[in-house]
């Protein structure tokens, strides 16, 4: 029988730090955050921080190891990498002022589909409706923001249109009763 060593079982193996997750997935922090948002993976606070952090009490961000293993099998990671390669090729073509190459790169730029993620995250219409409040909050926030370089006027206009359509739908369907709307 093998001797049990410290930090090789239990709480210490259930969690993984963000740095180790980045190394395991071979992603940048920006891509990792984007992937976590898309897949609905969030950091967790372990009950026994000292055990998980191998004796240290340093503040770190922890994820479930199962969640990271789940992310590792995601095909969209490959698309993130392909897009980074595209951006590198594009910057070199722009530096060389090769207009034909730039046009060809833009025509063949990698695109990724999020259909499978949406179907996985919201298998039924009811589950999608339960998460509708987050999207609506974001839409209503963008509808009142002024347009800048980052937030274009078309984005603000489309969010205003969507919020107006949603409000109109709520009014027409008599979905809300006994509410105070200002």
Q: Is residue 160 predicted with pLDDT exceeding 70?
A: yes
Average pLDDT of the residues in 127-146: 89
Average pLDDT of the residues in 87-108: 94
Provide the whole-model pTM.
0.72
Average pLDDT of the residues in 30-52: 88
CB 66 within 8 A of CB 39: no
pLDDT for position 182: 58
Q: Is residue 181 predicted with pLDDT exceeding 70?
A: no
Q: Is residue 12 predicted with pLDDT exceeding 90?
A: no
Distance CA 62, CA 96 (A): 43
Q: What is the mean pLDDT of the chain?
A: 88
In this structure, of 39-53, 64-78, 148-162, the range with the lowest mean pLDDT score is: 39-53
Question: Structural domain boundaries of the chain?
Answer: 11-73, 75-113, 122-176
In this structure, of 30-39, 69-78, 86-95, 126-135, the range with the lowest mean pLDDT score is: 126-135
Eight-class DSSP state of 15: E
Q: Give 50's pLDDT tier (boundaries 50, 70, 90).
A: confident
Q: Is residue 68 predicted with pLDDT exceeding 70?
A: yes
CB 57 within 8 A of CB 50: yes
Instruction: Tell me the backbone φ, ψ of residue 83, rounded to 5 degrees.
Output: -70, -35
pLDDT for position 31: 93
pLDDT for position 98: 92
What are 102-121's pLDDT values in tens digits? 999 999 999 988 898 989 88
- Tell me the β-bridge partners of 16: 63
């Amino acid at each position: 029988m093998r001797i049990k060593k410290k930090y090789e079982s239990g709480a210490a193996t259930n969690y993984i730090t963000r740095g180790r997750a980045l190394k395991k997935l071979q992603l940048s922090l920006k891509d990792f955050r984007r992937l976590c948002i898309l897949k609905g993976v969030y950091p967790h606070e372990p009950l026994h921080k000292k055990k998980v952090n191998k004796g240290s009490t340093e503040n770190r961000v922890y994820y479930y190891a199962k969640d990271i293993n789940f992310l590792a099998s995601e095909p969209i990671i490959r698309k993130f990498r392909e897009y980074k390669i595209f951006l590198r090729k594009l910057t070199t073509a722009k530096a060389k002022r090769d207009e034909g190459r730039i046009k060809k790169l833009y025509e063949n730029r990698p695109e990724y589909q999020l259909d499978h993620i949406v179907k996985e995250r919201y298998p039924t219409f009811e589950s999608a409706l339960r998460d509708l409040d987050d999207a609506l909050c974001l839409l209503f926030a963008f509808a009142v923001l002024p347009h800048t370089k980052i937030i274009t006027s078309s984005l603000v206009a489309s969010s205003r249109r969507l919020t107006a359509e949603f409000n109109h739908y709520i009014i027409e369907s008599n979905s809300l009763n006994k509410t105070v709307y200002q």
